[in-house]
Amino acid sequence: MLRANSVRTELEVQLLRQVRTWPEGTPISAGALAQLGSTTKVGRALARLVVKNHLLRMTRGLYLLPVQGKFGPRAPAVQPVLQGLMCMTGETIVTSPATAANALGGSLQVPVRHVFLTSGRTRRFYLGKLSVDLVHAPSWQLLLPGSLAGDVLRCLINGGKSAARAEVQRLQKLVPEVEFEALRAVSAKLPKWLAAEIRNPRPPHQ
């Protein structure tokens, strides 16, 4: 349980007051709070707030403010944290091919790990006891982020070259044609084997 009286320094009070105005899931770093003191001083205060259960340690140098849920404090959800990371670092983060395939019926296997592709470096962070892996991927695998067309692309990546034609035909029956139009618009950036299948028009009877 979070206790306000466990905050003993004015800097800790100021830090909490500041980060509580930020959107849920925003990663907290000493650099982002430089107006409150030196990076070293703020960093030590953030570490103390973790010990006092006011903050969660996400990874080295990054922290999160717990969300007050129905049953007490909990870690923020994955998506707001990823959005906050993208705003902080400027990197692109998208769902993994395995997750996209499961969502679009290309695989019955439910991913047991939380894995995402990123334009940044490969790393792992924690939301409480939940671990989230960011895996560096080439730029073509990150195209069309945040869209159904992008999920279709990553579903096709999951199936691989041997399954590409069958998967394209299956997905053309499932998703609107406009999503394939978006894919064709970026097909020049894709591997030849994948671009060739995506450029095929939807069968007339669909």
Cβ-count burial of 56 within 10 angstroms (0-12 exposed, 13-18 middle, 19+ buried)? buried
pLDDT band of 104, cuts 50, 70, 90:
very high
13 vs 205, more confident: 13
What residues have CB less than 8 Å from 146, skipping those under 6 apart?
Answer: 94
Predicted pLDDT at 5 = 45
pLDDT band of 206, cuts 50, 70, 90:
very low
Phi/psi of residue 56, each to 5°?
-110, 140
* C-alpha dihedral sign at 72, 44, 62, 26: positive
Q: What is the pLDDT of residues 22-56, one digit of tens each?
A: 999 999 999 999 999 999 999 999 999 999 999 99
Which of 57-61, 82-86, 112-116, 129-133 has the weakest average pLDDT? 112-116
Predicted pLDDT at 1 = 43
Predicted pLDDT at 2 = 46
pLDDT band of 120, cuts 50, 70, 90:
very high
Predicted pLDDT at 6 = 60
pLDDT band of 203, cuts 50, 70, 90:
low
Predicted pLDDT at 153 = 97
Predicted pLDDT at 202 = 62
In whole angstroms, give the CA distance from residue 78 to residue 67. 12
Residue 112 has pLDDT above 70, yes or no: yes
pTM value? 0.87
Residues of the chain with CATH 1.10.10.10: 4-74
Predicted pLDDT at 64 = 97
In whole angstroms, give the CA distance from residue 65 to residue 188. 42
**Domain covering 4-74 assigned CATH 3.40.50.1170 in the classification:** no
Predicted pLDDT at 109 = 75
CA distances in angstroms from 184 to 21, 79, 103, 143, 179, listed in the order given: 42, 28, 21, 12, 9
CA atoms within a 13 Å half-sphere pointing along the CA-CB vector of 62: 17
Q: What is the pLDDT of residues 137-175, one digit of tens each?
A: 999 999 999 999 999 999 999 999 999 999 999 999 999
Cα 194 from chain centroid? Answer: 25
